Amino acid sequence: MSRVFAPLAFVVMALFAVAPIIVSNAPYEQTMGLVQKVFYYHVPSAMLMFISAFVCGIASAVFLFKRSAAADRVAVAAGELVVLFGIVVLVTGPLWARKAWGVWWEWDARLTSSLLLWMIFLAYLLVRRYGGPGSEKLAGAMALFGMANVPFVYVSVNYWRTIHPKTSVVMTLGPGMRSAFWFCAVSFGMLYVLLLTLRRRLEDQQAQVERLYLALDD
Amino acid sequence: MKRRLVTVVVLVLAVSALALAGQPPATPAAQDGFVPVNSLPQAEQLPAAPLLIAAYSFVWVALMVYVWFLWRRMSRVERELADLNRRVQNR
Amino acid sequence: MRQFLRVAWVVMRKDLTVEMRSREIVYTTVFFAASCVLVFAFALVREGRPLEDAAAGILWISIAFAGTLGLGRTFERERHTETLRALMLAPSDRPAIYVGKLLGILALLAVVEAVLLPMIGVLFHAPVMASPGWLLALLFTGTVGFASVGTLFAAMLVRARSRDVLLPVLLYPITIPVIIAGVRGTAAILQSAPDEPMARFWAALLLFFDVVFVTLSLWTFEPLMTE
């Protein structure tokens, strides 16, 4: 694993260094102008927030139903990343909205449900930290409900009257925008894999530490 | 078990079809697809730049802060692990 | 299936019998809900009089708060007498126990809502009798949505630390969509000209939430309650 880690980290850093150049070469959007370029970081972060919520939910299901401690460690890592990418989405979005819509925030379906999804996984982390023994299972249940929330967040923008751009935007991008977007999406995706692996390794090592403490006590 | 799952899925689909037969979507600017354009009136550029820069900087800072915290915790745990391994071997 | 329903029924009857002896939870929860309505009615004023458009919102907020309180108290009683563990030891279908407890909570919230509705009608001049069918449908589906998740988490938290503050922390982000749908549907009904198609839309959405939440809760109750 460590043999893959260093080159992967290098690749991710290179991608992120190149990204601003690629983004500035992408064409402007007709109505929103320069500020639309937040899109290239905002949407991949949102995609990863959803993907991470799924990873956390599935890992929690495996943990609850198959009693796999390893799955629980993946779930914790994924849960933290939902909150991290969620913060990114919830800060870059309003910065874009301030220019595009004139307001920092709107209580429309997409924004409200995204905020709630983020809060569900924040509660996931809180209960793991402060719930005492046995709180991993409770957190797992939280993650399952959070995962069930994700499709709802995703389609909310297509079915409710909302000012947030629809999901059709990504699939109908023009060639200049499309390449920039998918470049950023791939960079973020690789970054996500890197962070997930690192965080999970931290959990594995902590579990090992606890095992060793118990072994020493005997 | 599988029958329960199928019943639930059918119920959910039926109810969602009912529920979502509701609102006609309105289409304000740039909702269905982005329209690319290559030049931009000069007046547009300046007010948006600080917001754009703030957004990108925030992403970088947030990711780096997270990686830094992760790094700190990992080195602490690795030290503890090495120490414990040594103690177990010395027994 | 019949065994399942019988277990659920027995659990619910046990809860109701115990409660009927002292009626402590019912009285305190109803009083709390009524106080909630009053607090909000006096907090949200326009020109010195309560905001009439806020009736639906205040109703659902009071149900949510009273529900959280009732859930906490009900399961606190379980913890105190260790009956939950006894139930788990019984050779019965675990999800049936969940359904039994859910029915008990629903009964409690039904009493609360029966008191709150006339209060809302009187204090806010709200036409609660205008479309009783849709209003009841909204209240029922919304309460089931809220109580289904609440019962699951309250049962789980019986053995956890900081359980009093963790229940709202866990419950509200998940049930806020239910509350939103309930408020929007109820507001549509309580308008001067009741908007029934709107109410039907929100009631259908609430039904969708109910199906998802009850299914998830039934699936996860057993692995969550076993060590």
Cβ atoms of C223 and A64 closer than 8 Å: yes
CA-based nearest residue to A112, from A167, A57, A149, A166: A149
Is 60 exceeded by the pLDDT of residue B29?
no
Rounded (10°) CA dihedral A150, A155, A157, A159? -140
Q: How confident is the model at residue C36 (pLDDT cuts 50, 70, 90)?
A: very high
Q: Look at residue A112 in the predicted model and tell me its pLDDT.
A: 86
Is 50 exceeded by the pLDDT of residue C200?
yes
* CA dist C96 → B39, B51, C2, C218 (Å): 66, 54, 11, 9
Interface contact A131-C166, CB threshold 8 A: yes
Q: Look at residue B40 in the predicted model and tell me its pLDDT.
A: 59
Specify which of A172-181, B35-44, C172-181 reaches the highest per-range mean pLDDT: C172-181
Give the model confidence (pLDDT) of B45-59 as tens digits: 447 778 888 888 898
Q: How many domains does chain C have?
A: 1
From chain C, the residues in CB contact with A122 under 8 A are 173
- Lowest-pLDDT range, A25-34, A54-63, A127-136, C123-132? A25-34
Interface contact C161-A141, CB threshold 8 A: no
pTM of the model: 0.83
Is 50 exceeded by the pLDDT of residue A1?
no
To the nearest whole Å, the CA of B91 is away from the closest chain A CA by: 9
Q: Look at residue B36 in the predicted model and tell me its pLDDT.
A: 75
From chain B, the residues in CB contact with A168 under 8 A are 32-33
From chain A, the residues in CB contact with C212 under 8 A are 148
Q: Look at residue B23 in the predicted model and tell me its pLDDT.
A: 47
From chain C, the residues in CB contact with B19 under 8 A are 201, 204-205, 207-208
Q: Look at residue C61 in the predicted model and tell me its pLDDT.
A: 95
Is 60 exceeded by the pLDDT of residue B44?
no
- Lowest-pLDDT range, A1-15, A97-111, B50-64, C205-219? A1-15
Give the model confidence (pLDDT) of A73-97 as tens digits: 999 999 999 999 999 999 999 988 8
Interface contact B34-A172, CB threshold 8 A: yes
d(CA A92, CA A43) in angstroms, rounded, equals: 10
Compare all CA atoms of chain A with the CA of B82 and give the residue at the minimum distance. Answer: A209
Specify which of A1-15, A22-36, C60-74 reaches the highest per-range mean pLDDT: C60-74
Interface contact A95-B51, CB threshold 8 A: yes
CA-based nearest residue to A15, from A195, A147, A212, A182: A182
Give the model confidence (pLDDT) of C115-165 as tens digits: 999 999 888 888 888 888 999 999 999 999 999 999 999 988 887 777 788
CA-based nearest residue to C112, from C186, C218, C185, C36: C36
Mean pLDDT of C196-208: 91
Is 70 exceeded by the pLDDT of residue B18?
no
Distance of CA A159 to the CA centre of its chain: 23
Strand locations in chain A, DSSP E?
Answer: 28-29
d(CA A135, CA A128) in angstroms, rounded, equals: 6
Is 60 exceeded by the pLDDT of residue A56?
yes
Give the model confidence (pLDDT) of C157-199 as tens digits: 887 777 788 899 999 999 999 999 999 999 999 888 888 888 9
Range C78-111 burial, b when 16+ CB lie within 10 A, else e: beeeeebeebeeeebbbbbbbbbbbbbbbbbbeb
Q: What are the tokens at A41?
A: 């970081």
What domain range includes position C175?
Answer: 2-225
Please name the residues between 49 and 88 in chain B that touch chain A, using a CB distance below 8 Å. Answer: 49, 51-52, 54-56, 58-60, 62-63, 66-67, 70, 73-74, 77-78, 80-81, 84-85, 87-88
- Lowest-pLDDT range, A17-26, A108-117, C18-27? A17-26
Q: Look at residue A2 in the predicted model and tell me its pLDDT.
A: 56
ipTM: 0.84
To the nearest whole Å, the CA of A170 is away from the closest chain C CA by: 27
Strand locations in C10-70, DSSP E?
Answer: 45-46, 49-50
d(CA C71, CA C104) in angstroms, rounded, equals: 10
To the nearest whole Å, the CA of A35 is away from the closest chain B CA by: 5
Give the model confidence (pLDDT) of C47-101 as tens digits: 777 777 789 999 999 999 999 999 998 888 888 878 877 888 888 888 898 999 9
Mean pLDDT of C213-220: 92
Of C192 and A189, the structure prediction assigns the larger pLDDT to A189
Mean pLDDT of A52-67: 94
Q: How confident is the model at residue B71 (pLDDT cuts 50, 70, 90)?
A: confident
Is 50 exceeded by the pLDDT of residue A196?
yes
Q: Look at residue B24 in the predicted model and tell me its pLDDT.
A: 45
